[in-house]
Structure 1
């Protein structure tokens, strides 16, 4: 038996392939199916099954495309309300892969329709479990993503109670040496306290995972529902898209408009400039946002731009556009791209540059806007009089920023503030708007 992990660091997402005797099953695949085809070819295996542990909120799955391309059966809980061809896979159901078994466990908590897949090896021993978003290394799945979306909705307190029972009655009773393969690692927004490990064991989690320690149900619910990370705008959209099945990736990306000449940007649509900060500062389209291509680009794109909006992408060259379009597709946003263009002639507006010495001498002469996340803000403000508006909320709350003084925007390292300055500048024109950028380190 071969178990292989595919890891996407940008979304902190882990998917898996199980190969046995020339047959392969994929678990929680990412949007791009090619790595799974390549792995099957490498091991001379046929992809015969795809298992979805739940309808994912943070990425788009290739389950339907894998089915359409290979004929593989899609397995998912009957509770998911899947609108694509599938076989239900719930407690008591098994998939035989030659002489090993994949056994379904219903484990509601992160979502009402979550399942885990327990692997029984050729000797009849339970040896591994794929836990989806139920159990991570150092954490369990957040319970607040399905209050308004999905086939079944549930309040976060209800799902937290379900997680208490799923962990204690289904997972914590497994042998300590069972290997745990979760769907996410550190940096994922599907949990709040994941360890750096990309796999673990039941025994290690029993010893070290805060959520598996001795506590009553009420204490567990209170602990799990507290201090969860922010929820990007795209999460609910992806749940519905995954419930129905996404279009094939290559064809969907090929449909993105990429005009060869300059275009007139439609008023009111976000313009996402993905170039480096210095290039943007030296000349950009008025009203555009500098969301630089980087490790978390897709998460921040889906946090700033809503799933009901069209938007433009600007890139330095064709390869750069290929990259950011592919990243947008990972969250299902490629269909919302109005056009993807190279740096246009209209990119002539220059950014205001702050006088650091003046700011250091009299920071009270500026309106300071802190665009970090609430967890960061609650752990301590860097400027006591700063206005706190996390980046995902900024477009909706720009009107709260006073305009009687120059505005300085900061985050924790400079990436988010670069995007935030464009959002503020698009609305506020009568005072300069400065990006504190990486200089924020001087105040830490």
Structure 2
């Protein structure tokens, strides 16, 4: 038996392959199915099934494409209301791969239609459980993403109650040595307290996971519904897309026009590094750099129906960025993808760090970190607090009587924020504090 984890660090997403005697099951696949095809070929296995633990909110799944390409059966809970060819997979249902079994366990909580998959090995021992977004290492799935989307909607308090019983009545009753394979790791917005580890055991989670400690249902609901991270704009859209099944990846990205003339009044997303962006960019463009969390920030800043141009410095990078955009289902939003235009003549202004250190009161400081970070303490005196996902809608809350300095925790988000602010506020300089936030903050008393 082979169990293999595929991990996409950009979306903190884990998917899995289970192989036994030449047959392979894929669990919670990403938008690009090629890694699963390659792994099957490497191990001389046929992909015979795809299991979706629930309709994912944070990425587009390739379950339908894998079915269309390989003929593999898609398994999903009957509660999903799936609109693609599938077999239902709920409590009591079993998939057999020769002498091992994959058994469905309904575990509502993150979503009403969530399932976990318990693997019984060839020795008839419960060996591992694929927990989707129900149980993470150090956390459980947030309960507030299905209040308005999906086949079944539910208020977060009701889903939190269901999570209480899914964990206590089902998962925590499993043998303590059962290995836990979750669908997400640290950095995912599907939870709030994930460990850096990408697998665990039931026993370890019972011992260490805050959500599995002794508490009554009311206390659990309050704990789980408090201090959850922000919800990107694209999450509900992806739930509905995954319920239907997405078009094949290459078909989707092949429709993206390239090297088009840029029209006015359409947003421009410049994915180059900020050093190049600062030297020359199109007027009012947003610098959302090619980085580990590009997809999340793109889907947090850009609305579902908003068109944009996508810019990169070379064709290889451009293809990468188109594919990254497709991972959250936004390839249809791309008006055109193109290399840096010749008329990229706008330059960013440079902040005098020493003057800022000495005269912070002469600047308007905009803190674009997330609320969870801000609640742990601000880094400067009296900042204007507007998390990056809210910035475009709240620009008018920024005072314009002083030069503006945007900061985050390490420099990625502040580059995007400074470009967003400078596109709308023209009467004062707008600076990006960038990585200097680490240096400046050290000298504060």
TM-score by length of 2: 0.98
Contact 2:26 2:36 in 1 (8 A): yes
Contact 2:27 2:52 in 1 (8 A): yes
- What is the CA–CA distance in structure 2 between the aligned matches of 1:90 and 1:429, rounded to whole Å? 57
Question: What is residue 122 of structure 2 aligned with on the other side?
Answer: 122
Using the TM superposition, give the Cα deviation of residue 212 of structure 1 relative to its aligned residue in structure 2, in angstroms: 0.6
Aligned pairs, number: 441
- What is the CA–CA distance in structure 1 between the aligned matches of 2:262 and 2:319, rounded to whole Å? 21
Question: What is residue 401 of structure 2 aligned with on the other side?
Answer: 404
Using the TM superposition, give the Cα deviation of residue 252 of structure 1 relative to its aligned residue in structure 2, in angstroms: 1.1
Using the TM superposition, give the Cα deviation of residue 130 of structure 1 relative to its aligned residue in structure 2, in angstroms: 0.5
Contact 1:12 1:184 in 2 (8 A): yes
- What is the CA–CA distance in structure 2 between the aligned matches of 1:438 and 1:227, rounded to whole Å? 27
Using the TM superposition, give the Cα deviation of residue 141 of structure 1 relative to its aligned residue in structure 2, in angstroms: 0.5
Q: Show CA shifts across 1:293-321 (max 9, x none).
A: 01111111111111211111110000110
Mapping 1:360-399, distance limit 5 Å:
360-399=357-396
Mapping 1:286-435, distance limit 5 Å:
286-435=283-432
Question: What is residue 209 of structure 2 aligned with on the other side?
Answer: 209
- What is the CA–CA distance in structure 2 between the aligned matches of 1:384 and 1:40, rounded to whole Å? 56
Unaligned runs of at least 5 residues, structure 2: none
Contact 1:270 1:305 in 2 (8 A): no
Are 1:230 and 2:227 counterparts? Answer: no
Question: What is residue 47 of structure 1 aligned with on the other side?
Answer: 47
Using the TM superposition, give the Cα deviation of residue 164 of structure 1 relative to its aligned residue in structure 2, in angstroms: 0.2
- What is the CA–CA distance in structure 1 between the aligned matches of 2:39 and 2:411, rounded to whole Å? 38
Question: What is residue 443 of structure 1 aligned with on the other side?
Answer: 441
- What is the CA–CA distance in structure 2 between the aligned matches of 1:278 and 1:123, rounded to whole Å? 57
| 2:26 partner SS | strand
Q: Show CA shifts across 1:115-159 (max 9, x none).
A: 000111122211111000000111100111111111111111111
Are 1:29 and 2:29 counterparts? Answer: yes
Using the TM superposition, give the Cα deviation of residue 366 of structure 1 relative to its aligned residue in structure 2, in angstroms: 1.3
Mapping 1:160-199, distance limit 5 Å:
160-199=160-199
Contact 1:410 1:440 in 2 (8 A): yes
TM-score by length of 1: 0.98
Using the TM superposition, give the Cα deviation of residue 79 of structure 1 relative to its aligned residue in structure 2, in angstroms: 0.6
Question: What is residue 258 of structure 1 aligned with on the other side?
Answer: 258
Contact 2:139 2:193 in 1 (8 A): yes
Question: What is residue 8 of structure 1 aligned with on the other side?
Answer: 8
Q: Which runs of 4+ in 1 moved over 6 A?
A: none
- What is the CA–CA distance in structure 2 between the aligned matches of 1:319 and 1:193, rounded to whole Å? 35
